[in-house]
Amino acid sequence: DTGVSQDPRHKITKRGQNVTFRCDPISEHNRLYWYRQTLGQGPEFLTYFQNEAQLEKSRLLSDRFSAERPKGSFSTLEIQRTEQGDSAMYLCASSLTSGRDEQFFGPGTRLTVL
């Protein structure tokens, strides 16, 4: 079992550009989450998928953000027209809907918007 993976690990972009991040969850996990973490803060929930269905989006997720999970496997998070305030660590987590539903996190993608 390889755990949750994220790609890229680091992304530097200019303001106004679009970026896309990928998350590959643990293979049998049906739940997938995206969180955003700014420096010195705890992660904040962005959105959640159960299989391929996106069931909740935080109000933090403006219309410039879109997430998909086609076929209920990997997920992508796209940010359009990036702003400097989007600079953060974007964390992906996955879990299995049973028991304590513990979330396993990936290493994160650190985004820097210049």
- Interface residues toward other proteins, by CB under 8 A: 31, 33, 35, 40-45, 48, 50, 55-56, 89, 91, 93, 95, 97, 100-108, 110
* CA 30 to the chain's CA centroid: 15
Q: Which of 101, 14, 29 is nearest to 72 (CA)?
A: 29
CB 40 within 8 A of CB 95: no
Residue among 79 and 91 whose Cβ is closer to other proteins = 91
Q: Are strands 104-105 and 88-95 parallel, antiparallel or unpaired?
A: antiparallel
Take residue 23 and report the two structure tokens written for it.
């998350």
- For residue 88, the minimal CB distance to other proteins (Å) is 12
Residue among 44 and 68 whose Cβ is closer to other proteins = 44
Residue among 42 and 70 whose Cβ is closer to other proteins = 42
- For residue 27, the minimal CB distance to other proteins (Å) is 18
